[in-house]
Structure 1
Amino acid sequence: MDDIQMVNNTPTLDEVFGLILSIDNTDTLRTSTVRAHLDVLTEEQLASVLQTNSGSDSQQSQSQQSPETNDPIHILDPLTHSLGYLYFITARCRKATQQNALSLYHMLCQFIDVADMEQVVLAGSQMSRIIVAVNHLAQVLKNDLIPLQPLSTLITRLSPSTNNDAAINSPGGGTALTIFHAALAKQCILTKMYQYPMPILNRDIVQVDPKMYGTTIEHYLEYHYYGAILYIGNKEYEKAVEFLTLVISAPVQKAVSAIQLEAYKRYILVSLIAYGHLYALPKYVSVVIEKTCKKQYGAYFALMEAFDGDDIEKLTTMIQKHQQTFEADGLVGLAKQLIQASYRKKIKMLTNIYYKIKLDDLGRQISADASSSPLTKDQIEHLLIDMIGKNYINANLSIVMEQGVPVKMIQFHEETTPSVALGSNHRLEQAITNIARANDQLAVMDKNEGLNGDFQSKVSLNKKIKIK
């Protein structure tokens, strides 16, 4: 049955369907021509019902049958015939109307829950049919949230945590990159569901297998870029730096992509917020990225220079000077956060100078050059409490009596345990080590296919995302 007798080299829907039904195990399916025949069928064929034999008897029989009798998505078993079912259910979903969209969505979710993932991966890049299908259903149902559950379920089922050394050293476990990772991250940004994908984002990508999962360089770059934006939305800046580093350091040989340049702009801002300085990139990162970014986006390097000068007034002036640029990039919120980051940096420096200092005196010292944006006493106290709570500094606040008047005092202590920065550094170094294991695969992908022209010149969502 594997060799279909085709008319004009084009199989009919019934012929392909018969071939699918004749195979009841994955091993046989893997060596069959089912995938090739499914790829030849048009969307109209995949979304239609089976034809019946001609003749009065068959016509009479057809009149007595329910519509489901000739419908592939009602005949095929989602578990036994997962590969074929994927094509038929997604084609039907792509033609969904308001009348049947909800029922088709439930059928698609049921398929994703029970499907044989060994068959699903045989679809390769055609697994993207599911992404197109759920996006169309979301549009028809006017509910952008509905793609989240099926996409996250697919990621979890397709790429369970691996047991290699890289995964063992990863706090969230290691996983393989699928075509659904970037789609989920993007949808979470559009719906502002920043917390939803955290369990997935916290699992390091330690395997990139384009043959098995249909992934491309674009999927890799987009996932980590969108993931960084989600971490920024959750104010997890150290992890955002990690993801942006992975975008910038990806081995792209043919051209620096727009997404890497966009990542570099965010990398500057988030590094300064998280660490108080530009975090060092791996040595193997191409210098072309930094040179190109410096040439095209000088405002960010001017801002970094002002931040490094430890002059809050100059920093504020620089933000105002280039505010139009930051607003156009959707990054004015991050840029303004550098002011508070500069205050934190000053407080951190004072821990090396003072053992004890009054809260009022500390406020005067860190606000001496910030006449346009000085912090109030309450703001300084809240900033200190936040820094202590996040282990940025080792200190405590107390109230002492001076001449019968209560005075708030800060006492700094020596660092007896590794600081949060050291922990973050180790985390980033481990992540870079993990992705180095996948760099050979990425380099091969780049050599074979490169980045398409559209992807090199633009970044999806870039103008839509505003970081407050």
Structure 2
Amino acid sequence: MEDFVNNVRNFSSQGQFSQLCEYMNKSWTFLTKNVSNLDAALEALDMQEHSLGMLYILCVKVSLLQSSGVATDEEFDQIFSQVSLFTSQCVGEQVQYSTGNFAQMFHTLTQELCRKNIPIRGIKLLCMGIGKVQTHAAQLTSLHSDLCQLCLSAKCLKPALPYLNTEICDISRENGWYESKHFLSYYYYGGMIYSALKQFRRALYFFEQVVVCPASTVSQIMLEAYKKYILISLIAEGKCIPLPKLTSQVILRFVKHYSTEYNEIVQAYASSDPAKLTSVITSHTTVFTSDKNLGLVKQVAVSLNKRNIQCLTKTFITLSLSDVATRARLTGPDQAEFYLRQMIEDGEIFSTINQRSEMVSFYDDPKKYNTASMLKEMDRDIQSFSELDRKLREMDQSIQVNPMYVQKVKNVSTQEDDFELNSSSSSTSKSSSLLSRLMFK
């Protein structure tokens, strides 16, 4: 173990971190056989000078924690404290040489925290870990999905919002350890978080990203995301929004085949008949409960009632509560008043209710769009679009100089030139043949 520590010190002092990674990978088996000496090795190393070496030792300890499956609470607390201290004080430049191992350590800790039913303890740690792996704020890492999973399990959603609200334009490769499941999980969990916060349009976008992800086969997470996509689109838009044309046909055929109950909800919703929708929900309650979508399904039923009321505001200026209930197909004036009050409070409609006459008056949007706050909002949107345009230009430039892209373009242009040459030769030969026949004639 002394030789191991000395080698870590020598590689680190010379700045040979790539060579240190190779040495540590070869020493993995040795470290797993000397677990009792790992804490002594950690104490012999300096956090600022030997962050990479300490990372590998902690990775070994965490991996053994998972493989044993019988670690006591004291042992887990010790390892968790060591990882927390390391994450807060380690040198990010050294960690970047082995982001794959760093991320895997956090994946294992996330599973253990959820298994022990203490996910809230890991939220702050994951936020620190993301900061060590990211090279810029708009980069997606595999730790993002772990953070969202912990936030959902702990029912503490706000810590994930700064990351979810940041538009992603790059994905961390993590030394080849990044997998598609991390991408799918991030957007799936993100969609669930936005759904819980009733930010349905944002949730719809996140679930869409899961379904349209290029794939030759469909994973379970894609199917679950599609089911939620249907329900959220009904709540947010009042209809099932078709998926983009870039969606694989294999995916479309598969998910539609295994979501027939949800397609029945779409058809019932389109009829604008709450009774018909309730009948479909009742007949498939077991399926929706099994999919853990019953809560969303009930919100779909509520949204249909509200949408029927919103349609009345486009036609009528005043109506009695009884007329509202009849035209919106509600059970009675009390239910109509309940929905009206809720919609007025949420700003979904602009209306007043006269309690004495039981009459409802509908108004246009009283909001004026010439205020200072509105101008600030417009300016913020313009800056956001400008930043998006800048990022797209940078991505376009990087693609144009990518060797793989250049080679592909060359191959395509060569094939086109050959095709044109063959076509020209064929045309010339045909013309010569025709000319010779005319001459002989």
Structure 2-normalised TM-score?
0.75
**Structural mapping, 1:126-145, within 5 Å:** 126-135=101-110, 138=113, 143-145=118-120
| Among candidates 324, 327, 332, match of residue 362 of structure 1 | 324
Structure 1 residue aligned with 2:302: 340
**Structural mapping, 1:117-132, within 5 Å:** 117-132=92-107
Q: How far did 1:261 drift?
A: 1.5
Residues 179 and 213, structure 1, Cα contact 8 Å, conserved in 2: no
Letter in 1 for 2:23: H
Aligned Cα root-mean-square deviation (Å): 3.5
Q: How far did 1:213 drift?
A: 8.0
| Among candidates 24, 36, 40, match of residue 22 of structure 2 | 36
Structure 1 residue aligned with 2:43: 74
Residues 399 and 408, structure 1, Cα contact 8 Å, conserved in 2: yes
CA deviations 1:433-462 (Å, max 9, x no partner) are 989999999xx9xxxxxxxxxxxxxxxxxx
| Among candidates 157, 179, 183, match of residue 194 of structure 1 | 157
Matched residue SS, 1:33: helix
Identify which range, 306-315 or 209-218, moves more after superposition: 209-218
Q: How far did 1:90 drift?
A: 3.5
Matched residue SS, 2:15: helix
Q: How many residues align?
A: 378
Q: Which runs of 5+ in 2 are unaligned?
A: 66-70, 370-377, 403-441
Letter in 2 for 1:266: K
2:100 pairs with 1:114: no
In structure 2, distance between residues paired with 1:296 and 1:357: 43
Residues 155 and 181, structure 1, Cα contact 8 Å, conserved in 2: yes
In structure 1, distance between residues paired with 2:229 and 2:359: 37
Q: How far did 1:212 drift?
A: 5.6
In structure 2, distance between residues paired with 1:179 and 1:118: 18
Residues 102 and 141, structure 1, Cα contact 8 Å, conserved in 2: no
The structure in which a higher percent of residues are helix is 2
Structure 2 residue aligned with 1:154: 129
| Among candidates 2, 7, 10, match of residue 22 of structure 1 | 10
Q: How far did 1:139 drift?
A: 7.4
2:240 pairs with 1:240: no
Q: Which runs of 5+ in 1 are unaligned?
A: 1-12, 51-67, 163-174, 445-468
Q: How far did 1:196 drift?
A: 3.7
Q: How far did 1:157 drift?
A: 4.2
Q: How far did 1:358 drift?
A: 2.9
Residues 110 and 146, structure 2, Cα contact 8 Å, conserved in 1: no
In structure 2, distance between residues paired with 1:29 and 1:410: 76
Structure 2 residue aligned with 1:448: none
Structure 2 residue aligned with 1:297: 259
Residues 95 and 132, structure 2, Cα contact 8 Å, conserved in 1: no
Residues 105 and 137, structure 1, Cα contact 8 Å, conserved in 2: no
Structure 1 residue aligned with 2:214: 251
2:185 pairs with 1:219: no
In structure 2, distance between residues paired with 1:136 and 1:294: 32
**Structural mapping, 1:166-205, within 5 Å:** 175-205=138-168
Q: How far did 1:406 drift?
A: 4.3
Distance 1:287 1:385, change over 3 A: farther
| Among candidates 284, 287, 312, match of residue 249 of structure 2 | 287
| Among candidates 198, 205, 210, match of residue 173 of structure 2 | 210
Identify which range, 302-311 or 116-125, moves more after superposition: 116-125
Q: How far did 1:266 drift?
A: 0.6
2:263 pairs with 1:307: no
Distance 1:136 1:226, change over 3 A: closer
Larger Rg: 2
Q: How far did 1:136 drift?
A: 7.0
In structure 2, distance between residues paired with 1:414 and 1:298: 39
Letter in 2 for 1:249: V
In structure 2, distance between residues paired with 1:340 and 1:275: 13
